[in-house]
Amino acid sequence: METRSGLIQIYTGDGKGKTTAALGLALRALGRGWRVKVFQFMKAPQSSGEHFSAARLAPELEIVPVGRRGFIRDGRPESEDIRLAQEGFDQARRAVLDRQADLVILDELAVALYFKLVSVEQVLELFRHRPAEVELVITGRGIPEEILAQADLVTEMRAVKHPYQAGILARQGIEF
């Protein structure tokens, strides 16, 4: 078995494609026999095509929805939002520390950080204790500088042009 050294990758920025890039990486890793776990913060379960693909690629690919359906109202999380995010982050932390997967993706963790559902210190602590062979990917807009500084790779997606600006709504199979 090959020895591999995992890195910490971040896909951020105001452009489209952060989750798509992470899922592309997941597909590549699956092709090489890796086990992949994706924790999707603040996305409704079974709302995107990747959930249906994951069912076909199980058990090597697992997508775990974190949080409840819908948005945080008025920008103020309720105690239930915090509890569910903490439970999900704890599941993700265990997946990393217990080496339950070779690649762990924390999709839209930036949103959970923004709403203070998960703390920067919790993420940095995960970085400090991550087994060297586990690849860790974080996605979302507005990743705090302290987290960016600890990453091995940071890719910023920049919005240049988007079909929504021309009135084209999200399309099934492409945006969701």
List alpha helices for 10-67, DSSP H. 18-31, 49-57
Is residue 171 situated within a structural domain? no
d(CA 79, CA 58): 32
- 1 pLDDT band, cuts 50/70/90, is very low
Is residue 3 situated within a structural domain? no
Most confident of 41-45, 49-53, 67-71, 93-97: 93-97
36-41: strand order across its sheet: 61-66, 36-41, 103-107, 135-139, 8-12, 153-156
Q: What is the mean pLDDT of the chain?
A: 91
Q: How many helices (H) and strands (E) does the chain have?
A: 6, 6
Mean pLDDT of 98-117: 96
Task: Work out the percent of the chain whose per-residue pLDDT is above 90.
Answer: 69
Is residue 76 situated within a structural domain? yes
Q: Under DSSP, is residue 168 helix (H, G, I), strand (E, B) or coil?
A: coil
- Which pLDDT score is estimated for 127? 98
* Residue bearing the bigger pLDDT, 151 or 56: 151
Q: What is the pTM of this model?
A: 0.92
Is residue 21 situated within a structural domain? yes
| Domain interval for residue 59 | 8-166
For the stretch 30-44, pLDDT in tens is 999 999 999 999 776
Question: And the tokens for 65?
Answer: 């929805």
Is residue 125 situated within a structural domain? yes
- Which pLDDT score is estimated for 165? 80
Is residue 2 situated within a structural domain? no
The CATH number for 140's domain is 3.40.50.300
- Which pLDDT score is estimated for 39? 97
- 112 pLDDT band, cuts 50/70/90, is very high
Number of independent structural domains in the chain: 1
Mean pLDDT of 108-113: 94
